[in-house]
Structure 1
Amino acid sequence: MGKLAVLTLLGAGLALIGERFVAFRQRFNTLREVEPVEYPNCHLIEEIENGSEDIDILPSGLAFISSGLKYPGMPSFAPDEPGQIFMMDLNEQNPRIQALNISDGFDKASFNPHGISTFIDKDHTVYLYVVNHPHMESTVEIFKFEEKQRSLLHLKTIEHELLKSVNDIVVLGPEQFYATRDHYFTSSFMIILEIFLDLQWTSVLFYSPREVKVVATGFSSANGITISPDKKYIYVADVFAKNIHIMKILDNWDLTQLKVIQLDTFVDNLTVDPDTGDIWAGCHPNAMKLFMYNPEDPPGSEVLRIQNVLSDKPQISVDYANNGSVLQASTVAFVYKRKLLIGTIFHKALYCTL
């Protein structure tokens, strides 16, 4: 009986591993290639060479871009250089990009920016919240944007035991935000095992000076997050599950799920067109090329637009797609008055007029 039990357990274990391997192969489809969908009036932003992972644009047309992310398992063209925040004024006829200076007293050498979100107070002061990974930890940095000096004044570093493996952020008010946690574990081996087993242990957090809590769970890898124009709904991208969760904000800041929009691509960051309410998503059509980077056969880029988000049948369209010959590993797309910015994890950024 002892040997039979061992053999039974071994067989069950091998069957489970086989099933998870097949599921893993299906999720990380290595054969899917994109059909090109490109705008005629696009050009790469030459000053950005090491990524443009997240983008946020103010109602005034000032765009902030995080660059230089170093992330486990991802390529980096400048692994020894600190990250930067760039700015563009999209009201200019030929927008120029500028790296923003950061005030002294902040550890600029270890700056590793990831998701970003802006907030404008009643006095029209602009604040930039940045997910930072100094030494591969996770913090949220608060900066005040000084427009005349075109610089960032560092105000505060937020740390908390729940703010681990943070990916993206959306600010609701002063020191009040939702954030996604894209991995439950922090060690590289356990992250790989977590992905392989599809544990769905990642979450969305709510942070305020008075309360920090988990408000939504059950994601394979919670990634991009944004808010609807009416501030009633939160949209969360689950990159490995290839879907977007539509969630309603409750009075106590908890989130309740309304629906899931299933897609055929790995969804990264999300933005919302403030005029139409459409979701724009930067996506990875072939994740295996991303994790096994080959400059001769690079990962492609894909941008989806989701219209009528809250309806029974949202309309999903591919608004940009490239096989990597122009843009590699797109993460985010943001529309402002017929102008489109597309960012990437480690590559360049694309500027288009629509």
Structure 2
Amino acid sequence: MAKLIGLTLVGLLLAFYKNHQSSYQTRLAAFREVTPVELPNCNLIKGIETGAEDLEILPNGLAFFSTGLKYPGIKSFDPNAPGKILLMDLNEKNPAVLELEMTGNKFDKSSFNPHGVSTFTDEDNAVYLLVVNHPDFKSTVEVFKFQEEERSLLHLRTITHELLPRHVYISELLAHKIHVYEKHANWTLTPLKTLNFDTLVDNISVDPVTGDLWVGCHPNGMRIFFYDAENPPGSEVLRIQNILSEEPKVTVVYAENGTVLQGTTVASVYKGKLLVGTVYHRALYCDL
């Protein structure tokens, strides 16, 4: 009887393990392969070799990239270098990236580990950057003022609260969902809808002209956490039109199996151009 009970327990444990493993693999889209979707003119951006995990494009065509993210369990091609904020002027015929100098007596550049960037322009057209930062794997939000003439960032302060737009879009990475909320004047939120996908949705960029959402996605997320140069993570970019309507239109604008671009996290557009960033690899600049 004891032997039978022992075998039963082993069987239950194995079943639990297999079910848990199957759920984990499903959430990470472990076995999904990418069907390529190409764009007519794409070029890797020189000077971005350790990721462009998030990016933001101003209405005047200036683009900011956060690069150099280091996080437990995530591949880093340069683990000893601090993170950076890069600038690219999309109005130039052949735009190149420039590293922005960061100034401020109380800001420790050596531990800068950026994980996301947003911009805010005030009534005087001054531009501010809000950057999620993980110094020593803690979490802060750093506020910088962009000094355009000097091409530099002045660190102002560290904050812990977030600023929210009129509609709030939240990507739930492992659940393959995007949640849509409406923000009210009293800062309360009302859930409007949830969209489901067959890919891991990461950063969301909103086109200020059309309101379309551009989403960097991981079509096979398992490969992000278990990096294999022979079988790298793919890239995928979704465009979501009319997200507040009854039937939003979702289009795969770009998809690739990792040969060119590995681990896409973000995509954003400006005047017919598409920028695509990655968690630790390179960045792409395409015509639409």
TM tier, shorter chain?
A: over 0.9
**Structure 1 match to 2:51:** 51
Q: Deviations over 1:197-256 (max 9, x none)?
A: xxxxxxxxxxxxxxxxxxxxxxxxxxxxxx5xxx3x111100000010011112321222
Name the amino acid aligned to 1:279.
L
**Structure 2 match to 1:275:** 209
Query: CA shift at 1:349, angstroms?
Result: 0.5
**Structure 2 match to 1:154:** 155
Q: Secondary structure at the match of 2:163?
A: strand
**8 Å Cα contact 2:46/2:96 also seen in 1:** no
**Structure 1 match to 2:24:** 24
Whether 1:34 aligns to 2:34 is: yes
**Structure 2 match to 1:75:** 75
Whether 1:237 aligns to 2:238 is: no
Query: CA shift at 1:36, angstroms?
Result: 1.1
Name the amino acid aligned to 2:45.
I
Q: Secondary structure at the match of 1:26?
A: helix
CA distance in 2, matches of 1:263, 1:102: 38
Q: Which of 262, 265, 269 is matched with 1:335 structurally?
A: 269
Aligned residue runs from structure 1 range 1-354, under 5 A? 16-105=16-105, 106-159=107-160, 177-178=163-164, 227=165, 231=166, 233-354=167-288
Q: Deviations over 1:37-89 (max 9, x none)?
A: 11121100111100000001111111000000001111000000000000011
Q: Judging changes above 3 Å, is the alpha-carbon distance between structure 1 residues 234 and 6 closer, same or farther for their aligned structure 2 residues?
A: farther
Deviating above 3 A after TM superposition, structure 1's stretches of 4 or more consecutive aligned residues are 5-19
CA distance in 1, matches of 2:31, 2:162: 42
Q: Judging changes above 3 Å, is the alpha-carbon distance between structure 1 residues 114 and 14 closer, same or farther for their aligned structure 2 residues?
A: same
CA distance in 1, matches of 2:47, 2:29: 33
Name the amino acid aligned to 1:321.
A
CA distance in 2, matches of 1:260, 1:17: 30
**8 Å Cα contact 2:25/2:222 also seen in 1:** no
CA distance in 2, matches of 1:261, 1:176: 23
Query: CA shift at 1:257, angstroms?
Result: 1.2
CA distance in 1, matches of 2:194, 2:249: 14
Name the amino acid aligned to 2:64.
F
Q: Secondary structure at the match of 1:235?
A: strand
CA distance in 2, matches of 1:278, 1:104: 36
Q: Compute the TM-score of the two structures, normalised by the length of structure 2.
A: 0.93
Question: Structure 1 unaligned runs (5+)?
Answer: 160-174, 179-226
Q: Deviations over 1:314-348 (max 9, x none)?
A: 11110000111100000000011101100000000
CA distance in 1, matches of 2:162, 2:19: 42
Q: Deviations over 1:176-217 (max 9, x none)?
A: 514xxxxxxxxxxxxxxxxxxxxxxxxxxxxxxxxxxxxxxx
CA distance in 1, matches of 2:141, 2:20: 35
Q: Judging changes above 3 Å, is the alpha-carbon distance between structure 1 residues 97 and 238 closer, same or farther for their aligned structure 2 residues?
A: same
Over the matched positions of the two proteins, sequence identity in percent amounts to: 56
CA distance in 2, matches of 1:91, 1:25: 43
Q: Compute the TM-score of the two structures, normalised by the length of structure 1.
A: 0.76
Query: CA shift at 1:312, angstroms?
Result: 1.6
Name the amino acid aligned to 1:177.
L
**Structure 2 match to 1:168:** none
Name the amino acid aligned to 1:331.
T
For these two proteins, the number of residue pairs brought into alignment is 284
Q: Judging changes above 3 Å, is the alpha-carbon distance between structure 1 residues 6 and 297 closer, same or farther for their aligned structure 2 residues?
A: closer
Q: Secondary structure at the match of 1:71?
A: coil
Q: Deviations over 1:254-309 (max 9, x none)?
A: 22211111000000000111121111100000011111101111101000111110
Q: Judging changes above 3 Å, is the alpha-carbon distance between structure 1 residues 155 and 293 closer, same or farther for their aligned structure 2 residues?
A: same
CA distance in 1, matches of 2:63, 2:258: 24
Name the amino acid aligned to 1:101.
E
**8 Å Cα contact 2:133/2:140 also seen in 1:** yes
